């Protein structure tokens, strides 16, 4: 009599242990990525961008007009893969001109290349596939579904032949 009872108890314990073990494995597989490198992999959308730059003053040669603020018409996508570490992205936005100038300047930056993360996880380095140029992005916020980066990037003003450099800070949200 003791043997069937003991066998049943062991069977129940094994089933409960097996279910608990599966639950733990399932939880471990759903934990969010912990390192910046792990978090970057995936699809991201740019939701906001702040710029700070200067443009040549057409009214007073040799001087500049400061431009800074929250960009208009913000859109952009980042696709980040790992092994190999590749990234394709676009930053699209408009810079508003100050009075008496009218309108905005559309900016479209498209790049692809390889990426690395510094050991302290405070910077993402992108090597442009076409030019070999290194673009350094300072990581200001590193969350599983939200990243805020800052950098100094060159951009061209359409129809002017001007290439300027701007400090930018932008937010990426996981898709």
Q: What's residue 14's pLDDT?
A: 47
Report whether pLDDT(2) > 90: no
What is d(CA 44, CA 147) in angstroms, rounded to the nearest whole number?
9
**Locus of tokens 């190999």:** 84
For residue 96, give every residue at least 6 positions away whose Cβ sits within 8 Å of its Cβ, in sequence order, or none: 67, 69, 72, 103, 104
Confidence of residue 85 (pLDDT cuts 50, 70, 90): very high
CB contact set of 11 (below 8 Å; sequence gap of 6+): none
Distance CA(56)–CA(48), nearest Å, equals 25
Above pLDDT 90, what percent of the chain?
A: 57
Tell me, what's the pLDDT at 19?
A: 47
Q: Which two tokens stand for residue 70?
A: 């929250």
Question: CB–CB of 132/142 below 8 Å?
Answer: no
Do 110 and 139 contact (CB within 8 A), yes or no? no
- Of the spans 5-14, 21-30, 135-144, 151-160, which averages the highest pLDDT? 135-144
Per-residue confidence (pLDDT) for residue 9, from 0 to 100: 40
Number of H helices, E strands in the chain: 2, 10
Cβ contact 147:125 at 8 Å: no
- pLDDT computed for residue 162 by the predictor: 80
Does the structure show a pLDDT above 90 at 97? Answer: no
Q: What is the pLDDT of residues 35-80, one digit of tens each?
A: 999 999 999 999 999 999 988 887 889 998 888 999 999 999 999 9
CA atoms within 13 A on the CB side of 116: 5
Could you tell me where the beta strands, DSSP code E, fall in 82-161? 86-96, 104-117, 123-128, 134-143, 146-157
For all residues of the chain together, what is the average pLDDT? Answer: 84
CA distance 28 to 22: 10
> DSSP character for 132?
-
């Amino acid at each position: 009599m003791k043997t069937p009872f003991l066998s049943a108890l062991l069977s129940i314990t094994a089933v409960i242990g097996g279910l608990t073990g599966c639950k733990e494995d399932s939880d471990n597989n759903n934990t969010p990525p912990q390192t910046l490198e792990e978090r970057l992999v995936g699809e991201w959308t740019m939701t906001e961008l702040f710029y700070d730059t200067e443009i040549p003053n057409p009214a007073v040669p040799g001087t500049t007009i400061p431009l800074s603020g929250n960009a208009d018409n913000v859109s952009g996508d980042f696709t980040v893969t790992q092994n190999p570490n590749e990234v394709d992205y676009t930053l699209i936005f408009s810079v508003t001109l100050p009075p008496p100038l009218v309108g905005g300047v559309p900016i479209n930056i498209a790049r692809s290349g390889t990426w690395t993360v510094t050991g302290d996880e405070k910077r993402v380095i992108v090597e442009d596939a076409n030019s070999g140029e290194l673009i350094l992005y300072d990581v200001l916020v590193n969350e599983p579904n939200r990243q805020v980066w800052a950098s100094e990037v060159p951009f061209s003003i359409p129809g002017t032949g001007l290439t300027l450099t701007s400090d930018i800070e932008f937010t990426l949200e996981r898709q």
